[in-house]
Amino acid sequence: MRSWVILGLALLMAGMTARPLHAEEAQSCDVPESLLTTDSSLNKVADVVKSGRPLDILVVGSRSSTIVSADSSAYPTRLQAALKEKLPQLTVNLSVEIQAKKTAEEVAGGLSKLVEAKKPTLVIWQTGTVDAMRSIDPDDFRSALDEGVTALQNAGADVILINPQYSPRTETMISLPPYLDNMRLVAQQHEIPLFDRFAIMHQWNDQGDFDLFSAAHGIDLAKRVHDCLGRALSKFVIDAAHIGPAQQN
């Protein structure tokens, strides 16, 4: 019931704000609310925000969590900036752990050590692409995810999963569906939010916000996409932590 009210409010707000924003911003990258809401909640994040303590975020990801030679424009940093903008009273500490070319299984093993060292409130785990490219057995992928998420939860952190990017030109070469499905499944089983980067980027491409098909683009497109991802992710975190609209403004 409550979620419906929030959804209604959110839609209303989106309806009121979307148009003017369009005119002002250079890049429009609206995301349907359904992709930014989740049934699972980030209770630890909510507690931290309410008590006014600093929010420590750890992003664990592969190469698509960064932009080569423009690291500070990648979505983790953009998320930090967007959160600060929306919740000015909140201190957000960010650390990013890029583990290039590592499968979920290889990453999962080291997660508990990582969390022990950094004690984050929220771990954002971006994974799936490397596994899909190496066609790791989806069952093995799922148990690795399961193991990793369990370790993170046992260490007392809230967890968000981020799935692979939508990459139209490599769609014939990388079979994502089994990995997307398994990520959704594990998120459901652990009742943690899944940030559906794939669907969101797909939507942008369909709407014409970004031309993700294009072969040769400078670094500019990557920067703009990551900026939008960071902002969408900030909305997603705020929604999942149930930080009311009043606090958002």
Partner 1 sequence: MASSVEHVATPVTGAGVAPAGSPSAAPIAVASVAAAPAISLPQTGERELRLDLFRGLALWLIFIDHLPPSLLTWLTIRNYGFSDATEIFIFISGYTAAFVYGRAMLESGFLVAAARILRRAWQIYVAHVFLFTIFLAEISYVATSFENPLYTEEMGIIDFLKEPQVTIVQALLLRFRPVNMDVLPLYIVLMLALPLILLSMRWKPDLTLALSVLLYAVTWQYDLYFSSYPNGTWVFNPLAWQLLFVFGAWCAMGGAQRLSKIISSPITLWISFVYLLAALWVTLTWYVPQFSNLVPRRLEQWMYPIDKTNLDVLRFAHFLALATITVHFLPRDWSGLKSPWLRPLILCGQHSLEIFCLGVFLAFAGHFILAEVGGGAALHALISLCGILIMWGVASVISWYKHVADKSAARKGAAGNADLAGGG
Positions touching partner 1 (CB under 8 A) are 39, 62-64, 67-68, 70, 100-101, 129-130, 133-139, 142, 165, 167-175, 182, 185, 188, 206, 211-219, 221-222, 225
Query: For residue 240, which of 77, 65, 38 has the smallest C-alpha distance?
Result: 38
Q: Which is nearer to partner 1, 72 or 135 (CB)?
A: 135
Give least dist CB 237 to partner 1, A: 19
Give least dist CB 89 to partner 1, A: 33
Give least dist CB 215 to partner 1, A: 5
Give least dist CB 156 to partner 1, A: 25
Q: Which is nearer to partner 1, 75 or 123 (CB)?
A: 75
Contact partners, residue 4, CB within 8 Å, separation at least 6: none
Q: Which is nearer to partner 1, 56 or 209 (CB)?
A: 209
User: DSSP characters for 7-69?
Assistant: HHHHHHHHHHHHHHHHHH-S------HHHH--SS--HHHHHHHHHTPPEEEEEEE-GGGS-TT
Q: Which is nearer to partner 1, 49 or 124 (CB)?
A: 124
Q: Which is nearer to partner 1, 160 or 225 (CB)?
A: 225
Provide the strand spans (E) within 55-148. 55-61, 92-98, 122-126
Give least dist CB 115 to partner 1, A: 24
Q: Which is nearer to partner 1, 85 or 181 (CB)?
A: 181
Q: Which is nearer to partner 1, 159 or 225 (CB)?
A: 225
Query: For residue 157, which of 244, 47, 79, 61 has the smallest C-alpha distance?
Result: 47
**141's tokens:** 């992928």
Give least dist CB 169 to partner 1, A: 5
Give least dist CB 90 to partner 1, A: 29
- Residue 107 has phi, psi (to 5 degrees) of -75, -40
For 165, which DSSP code? P
CA distance 231 to 67: 16
CA distance 211 to 205: 6
